[in-house]
């Protein structure tokens, strides 16, 4: 698989995580729980993250294993729980994810992306 696709997937993860965090910026949990539009936007971002993570895990397994500090399986699992149990989404978990897990992920991604970029440059054409 092309290393440039890996970079694309990592960019999708970063953009969706950034979007989800921006959607709740300045909101109290109670406001989030009352705002269906924001809930839907955050949930869609989590699905995008999970889809891109699945592509990374399936197409670049060695890369994912080399970056085990990134919670790949948890992100894919959350996407699967959302997609297959839509009517049972726990908004408290969604809130906690966007408040704690996504900011932590956003701290990790620049170094992960840099490694992917280095790998892409080191590979022969």
Q: Which of 67, 76, 79, 113 is catalytic?
A: 79
Q: Which of 12, 67, 84, 121 is catalytic?
A: 84
**Angstrom distance (rounded) from CA 123 to CA 82:** 37
Based on the residue annotation, tell me whether 79 is a catalytic residue of this protein: yes
Based on the residue annotation, tell me whether 121 is a catalytic residue of this protein: no
Cα torsion at 77, 102, 69, 53 (round to 10°)? 40
104 SS3 class: helix
Closest Cα to residue 102, out of 22, 17, 34? 17
**Angstrom distance (rounded) from CA 112 to CA 107:** 10
- Active site amino acids: 79, 84
């Amino acid at each position: 698989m092309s290393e440039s696709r890996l970079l694309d997937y990592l960019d999708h993860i970063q953009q969706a995580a950034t979007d989800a965090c921006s959607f709740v910026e300045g909101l109290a949990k109670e406001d989030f729980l009352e705002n269906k539009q924001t809930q839907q936007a955050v949930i869609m971002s989590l699905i995008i993250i999970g889809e891109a993570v699945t592509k990374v895990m399936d197409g670049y397994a060695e890369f994912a294993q080399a970056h085990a500090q990134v919670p790949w399986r948890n992100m894919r699992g959350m996407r699967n729980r959302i997609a297959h149990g839509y009517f049972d989404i726990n908004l408290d978990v969604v809130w906690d994810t966007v408040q704690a897990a996504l900011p932590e992920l956003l701290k990790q991604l620049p170094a992960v992306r840099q490694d992917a970029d280095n790998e892409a440059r080191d590979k022969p054409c």
